[in-house]
Each structure stands twice: as structure tokens, then as C-alpha cells.
Structure 1
Amino acid sequence: MAYALGRGSLAKLTGVHPDLVKVVKRAIEITPVDFQVLEGVRSLARQKQLVAQGASTTLRSRHLTGHAVDIAPLIDRKVSWHWPHYYPLAEAIKKAAKEVGVAIEWGGDWKSFKDGPHWQLPHAKYPA
């Protein structure tokens, strides 16, 4: 089944690095699981709020510079926080990144503080 990004997801890509936008737009075309962009560019005030809530561990998030997005699978049109739903989505996003020639990192691959929705362009190739 083919999916498309909704208006809200497209709006949340405003200000996000064009290479990351390319990945997200290609991923929606090939994903087996529908998804939504939860957040793109983030203000420092929002980042501080997330750190205070324990939802983030840094004030140097790639969201602040437009180098990260949070994406969640939609199951029955609702955001899912269930880890098994993130793996097929991750495969599609990684495949999309490879197809468009963009290096990408997934928070779900991190050794500590795993972050399933988080995708970012690597610091080494995309300095802020």
C-alpha cells in the first residue's frame, strides 16, 4: 500500500535540512507501515522542556539545527510507541536514505538512551 505525508507532517519538515527531507519523502513511498513526522526543528525552550521531562538527555540536539526529525509509525491511524512497530519503519527509512545517497543515524541503534522515533544526519558529514 502506498502512503503519503499529511499536511501536518509536511509542515513539520519546514526548516529541516533538505537531505533529511529527501529521505523522509522517499521513505513514505516505500514503507510497509504508515508514519507521521512528530517533530522537526525544535526551539531551545522546547529542548529544555524535553530534558526536564527526561525525554532527552542533551541541550545540543540535532533538532535545534534542523538536522533531526522524530517519526512515529501509525497503527490504525494512531501513533504507536510499541517498539516492534519501529523496526519495519526503520528498515524503510534506512533503505530510503541509501537510495537517495544520504547518511543517516537512527536513535533506535544507539547503545544507551534508545530513541525509536529519532532520525538524524551524522555530525561528521553534516556539521551544524
Structure 2
Amino acid sequence: MSRVKLKTLLDRSIKNMGDVQQGVKDKILLLIRKAYEEDINVQISSGYRSDAEQQKLYNQGRNSPGNIVTRAKPGQSVHNYGLAVDYFLTTWDGAKATWTVNNDWRRVAEIGKSLGFSWGGDWTGFTDYPHLELTNGLSWRDLNRGRRPSNEFLNKGVTRKGHSGYKTYLLQQKLKSLGYKLKVDGFFGSGTDKVVRQFQRVHALEVDGFYGPSTQAKLEHELEGVAVAENEKEEENKMEENKDQPSKWAKEDWEEAKENGYFDGSRPQDTITREEAAVVVNRLRHNFREIIKRNEGTIENLTKAIQKLNL
């Protein structure tokens, strides 16, 4: 059984999250990536929830069939403000959902908490094990009054120090691929800030530590150069590998030339040097002289016969 692709889990989750806050989405994508690296398949089942959707969910087990799954009326759920998601685990191939709250489930919650989320499994009374919310301590009542977590906490604005999430993770990966030394963990701390400023300084950009448009453009340009260089190196390696094997159309003649001592059998597709050409010509000369020596009588008789024909 092959494992479900990370991209599949990410794409499914993006679709199911809907219109959550950008910071929530960014951090959740990193969570899925980190869990995947630990052999845990996690997927988001829901994210933003409209008032109408919240009312329908609240009615379940009360005015409509099913079990009661929430105590929150419209406006009373953090989901209504785009600051919460629900998750589940999947089988190895990603074909089925699993809802058992085991060590893997709790590990996902720990990753979420490291990114600033609160976990419903820590609640007393009405525990909600699939629930993760990014409120920085604010309640639904605070949100209903118009309060919100800080812009930095929600990764709003240009990616910079204090942010954490998938964007930072990808930035770190790109910088590392250019040879910069930094930890690739999705947290934009002092180390990442230092490297971003170093990159900006090297390329005569404004040194502010912000991963803004000009820094993004320059980084992508440098990565393209690396990609081209890597492709050229790969082609060179392929050519070097091919030089060790003769082409199909020349294989038979090449083997015969080796047997006759004209070449040592190495670099069949490489360019011949003047020294090698001299050796081949000299070996041919010696071989012709040896053939003539062995067949002097035959050649002399053949010469006389030709002379008679010409009379």
C-alpha cells in the first residue's frame, strides 16, 4: 500500500478549510507538513463556518436527526470568525478517516499548540478533540465584540520576524538551497531574520528583514540560476556517463577495434586527441607491415598476374 501524497492532504485541507484567516491557513499547512514528516497523515475536515452552517450544526440532535456535536449557536463559535479548524487522521493511503484519539492524534495537537493554536482536547467539561483555534486567548464573546488577535500573531502583512507557518517554511527552504545556514522549521525567529538581512545585503536590497516583493523576486531569480546550473551539471554528468558506452550503431566496430589493439576500450564517445590518433596510425602501420610480411609470396604472384593483364 503506497502512502497518500502530502500534496493530496494539503489540497483536500485547503478546500475543506474554506475562508479561514490567512494566518490560520498558513499555520495549518505547516502543521500538516510537520505531521507528515513524522509519518502522521492529518487532514482538515472543516474551517470557516457561516452563521447558517452553524445554526444547522446546532440543530443536529435537537431539531434534526443525529447526535449533538456543538453547544455553540451562530456567532458563538470561533469557526464563525475563521479562526478555527477541525482535523482528523487518515489511513496510510489516505482513503479513510480515522477518529481514534491516540498518540498520533495528540502529537498533531502538540504541533498545533507549538504554532499558537489552542486544542479542544484540553478543555474541561465539553472536550472537542478535533478542534484547533487560533485566538491567542480571546473568547467567542471577545470576537463577537470585534476584538481580534494581533496582526503578527495571524501572520498579517509581509512575512517577517515573529511569523510562523508554511510561507516561512518555504522561505527557509529556498534560502537553504542557496547555501545559507539556517533551521528549516517554519518559525521566523532571529536566525531566519539574520539570514534574510544577509541575503538582502549581498544583493543590494533594502536591509529590513522583511520578505517583501523585492526580496521575493530576487530570491526567485537566484533560485532560477541555481536550477539552470543544476540542470547543466546533470546534463554534463549524463554526457560523462554516455562517454563510457559506445553508441549502438558503433558497438560492433568498437569491439573489433579493441580486439585489434587500436583503443584501450575507454571513453568510446570522447573526442580523440592528436596523441591517440598518432598511436592508432602507428599501430595500423605496424599491422599492415606484418600482413605484408606474412603474405610476401602471395603478393608477388598477385603483382605478376596483374602485370600480365595489363600487357
Give TM-score, length-normalised by structure 2: 0.36
Aligned to 1:79: 97
Contact 2:10-2:32 within 8 A present in 1 as well: no
Aligned to 1:52: 59
Contact 1:73-1:89 within 8 A present in 2 as well: no
Higher-Rg structure is: 2
Aligned with 1:116 (options 129, 153, 166): 129
Number of equivalences: 122
Distance 1:124 1:51 in 2: 22
Amino acid at match of 1:3: L
Give TM-score, length-normalised by structure 1: 0.81
SS in 2 for 1:83: coil
- In the TM superposition, residue 23 of structure 1 has moved relative to its aligned partner by 1.4
- The share of aligned pairs that are identical, in percent, is 27
Contact 2:89-2:105 within 8 A present in 1 as well: yes
Distance 2:11 2:33 in 1: 16
Contact 2:47-2:85 within 8 A present in 1 as well: yes
- In the TM superposition, residue 92 of structure 1 has moved relative to its aligned partner by 2.3
SS in 2 for 1:41: coil
SS in 1 for 2:87: strand
Distance 1:40 1:65 in 2: 10
- In the TM superposition, residue 14 of structure 1 has moved relative to its aligned partner by 3.3
- In the TM superposition, residue 105 of structure 1 has moved relative to its aligned partner by 0.8
SS in 2 for 1:38: strand
Unaligned runs of 5+ residues in structure 1 are 98-102
Deviates more, 1:116-125 or 1:49-58: 116-125
- In the TM superposition, residue 19 of structure 1 has moved relative to its aligned partner by 1.6
Distance 1:25 1:6 in 2: 7
- In the TM superposition, residue 57 of structure 1 has moved relative to its aligned partner by 0.6
Deviates more, 1:7-16 or 1:58-67: 7-16
Amino acid at match of 2:52: A
Aligned to 2:187: none
**1:68 and 2:72 are equivalent in the alignment:** no
Aligned to 2:112: 93
Distance 2:79 2:138 in 1: 16
Where relative contact order (Cα < 8 A, 6+ residues apart) is larger, the structure is: 1
Aligned to 1:22: 26
Distance 1:42 1:88 in 2: 26
Aligned to 2:48: 41
Aligned with 2:14 (options 7, 10, 29): 10
Aligned with 1:107 (options 120, 141, 164): 120
Distance 2:122 2:31 in 1: 18
Distance 1:9 1:87 in 2: 19
